[in-house]
C-alpha cells in the first residue's frame, strides 16, 4: 500500500527483536505493518542474552530510554535473561496491567471453537515482588502484597476494557476462602468497582474452580481479572486451550507506556531456520494497533491472519504445515 495514503500522525515505535526467533518473527511482523495505512517510525533497541554477552547487561539504559520515548514498544523474545529484561521494563514504565487474550483460530489445534476472552492480570504486586522472599531457619518465607490502590486500578481497567470492547461480563478470580485478608480485599474491591459499571455483569470464582471451568466451559468467559500469580498460571492454561504458546500475544500496559510481545520464548533450537510461527508476534502488533486507536488497521490485519489460517495452505511446522516464517508473512500481506 502506498505511503502517500497514510495518516498525518506518525507513531514512534520502539522495536526490540531480542534473541533467537524474536528477530525472525519481528522482521515478518514489521513487513506486514508496513503494508498498512498507518505511519510508523521504528527505533531499534537491543536487549537479551546476546546483548548481555556483548555489552555486559541484558538491558542497557539506552534501550529503556528508547521505550520511554516511544508511543509503544514491540518486543520479540529473550532467552535466559527474559526476566531481567521484561520485568525491569515493566517496573521502569509502571506497566501495571498484563493482557493475555485467549482466542480460538481455525487450523491451530485449538481444543474448542468460539473461545474469545481476555485475562487481565495485575502486574506489580502479589507474590511477584523482588526482595519479598527470605530464608529462615526452617526454610523460606514469601510475602504476598495486595494494596487497595493497585487492585482498584487493575479491576477498573478490566471493567473499562469490557465496556470499550462490548463485553457484558467480568469475572474475578481469587482464593478468598483461604487467603481471607489479601484475596478478601481483592474480592471486596471487585464488587465496589463493579457498582460503577451497572451495565456489566459481575461474578467471581475461586482460582481452582476457574482452572476447571477453563477446560470445561471456556466459552462462558469474557473478561477475567485476577492477581499476579493466578493470572500468570491461568494465562498459560488458556494458551493450551487454543493451540499453545506459539499463537498467544500479550500486552503490558501502564500509565507511561505499553509493550507488546508474543509469549513464546526465543526457541534457540530453531533460531535462524525460518521455522518460527510469526502469528503470535503479529497478533501482538494488532494489540498495539488497538492500543494506539488504529482499529481499522487492526481489523484488516486480524482479518488477513484469519483468512490465511482458515485456508490452511500457508502454515508453519507447529501447525502441521511446511511454510517458512516469511512465507506466512507474505501470505498475510497477500490477504490484505
Q: Is 11 a catalytic residue?
A: no
Rounded to whole angstroms, the Cα distance separating 1 from 288 reads 20
Helix (H, G, I), strand (E, B) or coil at 162: helix
b/e per residue 22-32 (b: at least 16 CB within 10 A): bbbbbbbbbeb
Catalytic residue among 39, 208, 296, 299: 208
Angle, helices 279-291 vs 295-311, to 10°: value is: 160
Annotated catalytic residue within 6, 236, 307, 333: 236
Catalytic, out of 23, 103, 175, 187: 175
Pairing mode, strands 257-262 and 249-254: antiparallel
199 is catalytic: no
Rounded Cα–Cα distance for residues 289 and 297 (Å): 7
287/290 Cα distance (integer angstroms): 5
- How many distinct helices (H) and strands (E) make up the chain? 11, 12
Active-site entry in 19, 23, 49, 128: 128
Please say if 232 is a catalytic residue.
yes
Catalytic residue among 19, 183, 204, 232: 232
236 assigned to active site:
yes
Sheet containing strand 201-206, strands side by side: 39-44, 10-18, 72-77, 257-262, 249-254, 97-103, 116-122, 223-226, 169-174, 201-206
Q: Which residues are catalytic?
A: 128, 175, 208, 232, 236
Amino acid at each position: 500500500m502506498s505511503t502517500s495514503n497514510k495518516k498525518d500522525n506518525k507513531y514512534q515505535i520502539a522495536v526490540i527483536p531480542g534473541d533467537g526467533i524474536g528477530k525472525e518473527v519481528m522482521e515478518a511482523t514489521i513487513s506486514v505493518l508496513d503494508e498498512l495505512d498507518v505511519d510508523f517510525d521504528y527505533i531499534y533497541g537491543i536487549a537479551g542474552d546476546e546483548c548481555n554477552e556483548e555489552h555486559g547487561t541484558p538491558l542497557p539504559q539506552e534501550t529503556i530510554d528508547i521505550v520511554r520515548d516511544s508511543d509503544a514498544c514491540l518486543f520479540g523474545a529473550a532467552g535466559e535473561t527474559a526476566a531481567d529484561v521484561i520485568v525491569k521494563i515493566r517496573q521502569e514504565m509502571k506497566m501495571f496491567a498484563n493482557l493475555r487474550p485467549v482466542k480460538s483460530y481455525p487450523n491451530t489445534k485449538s481444543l474448542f471453537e468460539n473461545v474469545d476472552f481476555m485475562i487481565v492480570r495485575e502486574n506489580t504486586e502479589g507474590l511477584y515482588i523482588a526482595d519479598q522472599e527470605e530464608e529462615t531457619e526452617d526454610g523460606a518465607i514469601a510475602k504476598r502484597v495486595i494494596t487497595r490502590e493497585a487492585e482498584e486500578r487493575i479491576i477498573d481497567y478490566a471493567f473499562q476494557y469490557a465496556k470499550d470492547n462490548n463485553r457484558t461480563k467480568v469475572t474475578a478470580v481469587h482464593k478468598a476462602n483461604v487467603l481471607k485478608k489479601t484475596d478478601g480485599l481483592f474480592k471486596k474491591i471487585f464488587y465496589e468497582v463493579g457498582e460503577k459499571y451497572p451495565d456489566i455483569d459481575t461474578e467471581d470464582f475461586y482460582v481452582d474452580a476457574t482452572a476447571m471451568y477453563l477446560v470445561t466451559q471456556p466459552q462462558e468467559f469474557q473478561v477475567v481479572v485476577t492477581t499476579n500469580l493466578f493470572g500468570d498460571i491461568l494465562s498459560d492454561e488458556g494458551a493450551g486451550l487454543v493451540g499453545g504458546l506459539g499463537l498467544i500475544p500479550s500486552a503490558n500496559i501502564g500509565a507511561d507506556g505499553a509493550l507488546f510481545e508474543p509469549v513464546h520464548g526465543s526457541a534457540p533450537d530453531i533460531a535462524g531456520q525460518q521455522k518460527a510461527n510469526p502469528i503470535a508476534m503479529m497478533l501482538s502488533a494488532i494489540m498495539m494497533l488497538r492500543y494506539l486507536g488504529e482499529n481499522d488497521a487492526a481489523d484488516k490485519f486480524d482479518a488477513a491472519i484469519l483468512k490465511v489460517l482458515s485456508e490452511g495452505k500457508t502454515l508453519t511446522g507447529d501447525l502441521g504445515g511446511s511454510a517458512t516464517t516469511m512465507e506466512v508473512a507474505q501470505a498475510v500481506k497477500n490477504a490484505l
